[in-house]
Structure 1
Amino acid sequence: MELRHLRYYVAVAEECHFGRAAQRLHIAQPPLSQQIKQLEADLGVVLLNRSTRKVELTEAGRRYLDRAKEILASVDAAAQEANRVAVGEVGRVAIGFTGSATYHMLPAIARTLRVELPDIELDLQGEMLTPRQAAALHDGTIDLGFLRPPVHDRLLRYEVVTTEPMIAVIPRAHRLAEEDSIEIADLADEVFVTYAGFSRSVVFEVVVDACQRAGFTPTIRHEVGETATLVSFVAAGLGVALVPQSVQHMQITGAVYVPLHGEVPTVELAMAMRSEPPSPHLERVLTCLREALPQIGAGTLS
C-alpha cells in the first residue's frame, strides 16, 4: 500500500462517485477504479458498494476513511514541519550572556525574539564569563554568546554590538557616594571587589589597566564570578568596584553607581558564534538581533 492509494480512496469516498473523484485527482477513471480494487484486495475488505447508479461506503469503508484522513493529515503536517525547520522557522537556540549583559540585554533580547520568532525555542544562560562562553560555544552547549572581546580563537567569530563606559560602584555610606562623578584616581586608597582574574574575565584586565593608568595598582580584596555577587559585596561595604555601565540596571540596596570623568575606560560587548555556517534557525535569530540590537543597546526597546 502507498500513500497515493489512501489519497485515491479518500477522494472516491468523499465524492461517492468515481468520475468526480477522477477529475479531482486529475487522472483517468479506469486506472482509479483499478487502484481502489487493488486497495480492497490488499486489505481483504470491501470498502465500497458499487452499482450503476451510485457508490456507497460500507461500514468498514467509513471507518477506513476516518483513519486514512488522519494518516494523510499527519503526513502533511510532518512535511510542513520539516519545511519549517529547513527554512529556520522552528528550532532551538541556546544563548549565553556575560555578567553585565544578563541584567539588560537578556530580558530585552528574550522579549524581542519571543515576538519576532515565537516558534524558536530559547535556552538563555546568564552570568557566563567570556572564557566559559568560548568553551560552551566549542562544545555546543550554547549556539550564540554575548561576551567581552577580544576572543583569540580561530574557531570562533564575533561582531561587536556595543561599546560602553565603565562606572564606579561604591557603598551608599561611602564619602564619594553623593558625588556627581569621580575620577578613578579618587579610589586609589580603596580596596576593590572584582570579577575573577587570571585571564578569566576581560573586565578584570580592563579594571587593573585603568587603575594603573591612573597611577596605582588596585588592592583587590575579593574576586567573584557573578555580577550580582560583586554588587552585593560592594553594598555590604566590602570594597568598591568598576563595572560596565549596563550593570546599573541591577539595583541592589546599599550600592551606588557613580559615573567616571577624566580618562574613562570602555569595554565592548560582542555577539560570538562558531565560525562554521549557522543553522537556518540560528541565522534567523542573528538577522533579527542585528536589526534590534541598536535599540536594545540604547535602552529604547521595551
Structure 2
Amino acid sequence: MELRHLRYFVALAEELHFTRASERLNISPPTLTVQIQEIERTLAAQLLVRTKRSVMLTSAAKVFLSETQRVQEQFSRAENAGRRAERGELGRIEIGYVGSAAYTGVLQDQMNRFIREYPGVYLNACEFPMESLPHLIADGEVDVGFVHLPMTLPPFLRHHVLARDRFCLAMPAGTFDAATETAPVHPQQISDASFIIPEQKFGTFQVARRGNFTPRIISPPGSLLAVLTQVSIGNGIAVCPGAVRIIVNLPSVVFRDIAGEPIVSEVAAVFRVSEAAPAGRNIITQIQDTPAKGRYLEKSNNR
C-alpha cells in the first residue's frame, strides 16, 4: 500500500461519492474503484457498503480512516520539517567558546540574534580549552568556535573578527605605590615580575618583547577566571583582554593600562569553509555580516 492509496481513500470517505471524489483527485471513477479494491485486498477487510444511491463506510473503514488521517498529518509534518531543515530553520548547532570570548558579549549577541531568527534551531554552547577548538571544528564535533586571536588554523577553517580590544595588566593591589596606582605601566617596570599566563599567550609575549625581557611564567595556561584568581591571591600578574575590566570584580585585583601603542586583542568566530549543514551556513552568514566592534586603533595617550 502506498501513500496515494491513503489519499484516495480519505477523499472518498469524506465525499462518500465516487464521482465527486474522482473529480477532486483528478482521476476517473473506474480508477478510483480499482484503488479502493486494492486497499481492501491488502487489509482483507470490506471498507464500503455501496448501493446505487449511496456509499457508506463500514466500521472497519471508520477505524482505518482515523488512522489514515493521522498518517497523512504526520507525513505533512515530515515534509514541512524536511523543507525547513533544508532552509536551515531546524537542526542543532554545536558552539564552542573560550571563557574570555564570553566576556566581550559577542558570543551572547550572536546566539541571541540567531535564536530570534531561527527559533527551531537548538544551539548547544560549551566552553573548551582554546588550543583544542580548531581541531574540534575541523573534526565536526563543534560547528562554530569563539576564540581569541591570533591562533593557527587549519587551511579549511576561516575566521571572522567580531570584537577588537586592547590588552591590559591585571595586578595584585599594592604592586605599585599609591602615587602611580592609576598610571600606565611600561613593560620595563614589570620585567622581574611573575606572570600568570592565560590561554591566549600573545599579549604576555608582546609585553615581554616590548620590555626586552623573557617573562617568568609560574603557572601553565588556564581559564581567565583561574588566572585572575591567582592574581588576586598575589601569585603574579597577568596580561588580559581589556573587556574584563568592566566585568570582573575580584578582591585585591587592579587593572592597569599598558603604556605605548595598544596591544590588540581580537575575538573571532572560527568555522569550516565548506559548511554542509543549512543551519550552520545560516549562522556563518550572520557572523560574516556582523561588523567588528571596538576601537583599539585609537592610539593610547598612556605614553
Q: Which of the five TM-score ranges fits, normalised by the shorter chain? A: 0.7 to 0.9
State the Cα distance separating 1:286 from its structure 2 match.
1.0
State the Cα distance separating 1:214 from its structure 2 match.
2.4
**Residues in 2 aligned to 1:109 and 1:247: alpha-carbon distance in whole angstroms:** 19
**Residues in 2 aligned to 1:241 and 1:154: alpha-carbon distance in whole angstroms:** 31
Contact in 2 for aligned 1:127/1:227 (Cα 8 Å): no
State the Cα distance separating 1:145 from its structure 2 match.
1.5
**Residues in 1 aligned to 2:272 and 2:283: alpha-carbon distance in whole angstroms:** 14
Alignment pair present for 1:187 and 2:185: no
Alignment pair present for 1:262 and 2:260: yes
Q: TM-score, normalised by structure 1?
A: 0.86
**Residues in 1 aligned to 2:168 and 2:128: alpha-carbon distance in whole angstroms:** 19
Q: Which amino acid aligns with 1:184?
A: P
State the Cα distance separating 1:124 from its structure 2 match.
1.1
Contact in 2 for aligned 1:165/1:244 (Cα 8 Å): yes
Aligned ranges 1:122-161 → 2 under 5 Å: 122-129=123-130, 131-147=131-147, 148-161=149-162
User: Aligned pair in 2 of structure 1 residues 277, 108: CA closer, same or farther (>3 Å)?
Assistant: closer
**Residues in 1 aligned to 2:260 and 2:240: alpha-carbon distance in whole angstroms:** 16
Secondary structure of 2:289's aligned partner: helix
Tell me the residue number matched to 2:240. 243
Secondary structure of 1:262's aligned partner: coil
Secondary structure of 2:27's aligned partner: coil
Q: TM-score, normalised by structure 2?
A: 0.86
Q: Which amino acid aligns with 1:149?
A: P
Tell me the residue number matched to 2:32. 32
**Residues in 2 aligned to 1:187 and 1:245: alpha-carbon distance in whole angstroms:** 18
Contact in 2 for aligned 1:171/1:234 (Cα 8 Å): yes
Q: Which amino acid aligns with 2:132?
A: R
Contact in 1 for aligned 2:203/2:239 (Cα 8 Å): no
Write the deviation string for residues 152-187 of structure 1: whole angstroms up to 9, x where unpaired: 522322233333210111223443684164333343
**Residues in 2 aligned to 1:224 and 1:250: alpha-carbon distance in whole angstroms:** 21
Tell me the residue number matched to 2:301. none
Q: Which amino acid aligns with 1:135?
A: H
Alignment pair present for 1:204 and 2:232: no
Secondary structure of 1:153's aligned partner: coil
Alignment pair present for 1:90 and 2:86: no
Tell me the residue number matched to 1:198. none
Aligned ranges 1:1-40 → 2 under 5 Å: 1-40=1-40
Tell me the residue number matched to 1:283. 281
Secondary structure of 2:83's aligned partner: helix
Write the deviation string for residues 186-218 of structure 1: whole angstroms up to 9, x where unpaired: 4334322112xxxxx5x3133123222123332
**Residues in 2 aligned to 1:283 and 1:143: alpha-carbon distance in whole angstroms:** 10
**What is the alpha-carbon root mean square deviation over aligned residues?**
2.3
**Residues in 2 aligned to 1:97 and 1:176: alpha-carbon distance in whole angstroms:** 38
**Residues in 1 aligned to 2:213 and 2:203: alpha-carbon distance in whole angstroms:** 14
**Residues in 2 aligned to 1:249 and 1:292: alpha-carbon distance in whole angstroms:** 23
Secondary structure of 1:80's aligned partner: helix
State the Cα distance separating 1:55 from its structure 2 match.
1.4
Contact in 2 for aligned 1:146/1:270 (Cα 8 Å): yes
State the Cα distance separating 1:132 from its structure 2 match.
0.8
* Matched pairs, number: 290
User: Aligned pair in 2 of structure 1 residues 294, 155: CA closer, same or farther (>3 Å)?
Assistant: closer
State the Cα distance separating 1:3 from its structure 2 match.
1.0
Contact in 2 for aligned 1:94/1:141 (Cα 8 Å): yes
Contact in 2 for aligned 1:144/1:273 (Cα 8 Å): yes
| Aligned-residue identity in percent | 30
Give structure 1 stretches of 5+ with no counterpart: 196-200
State the Cα distance separating 1:31 from its structure 2 match.
1.3
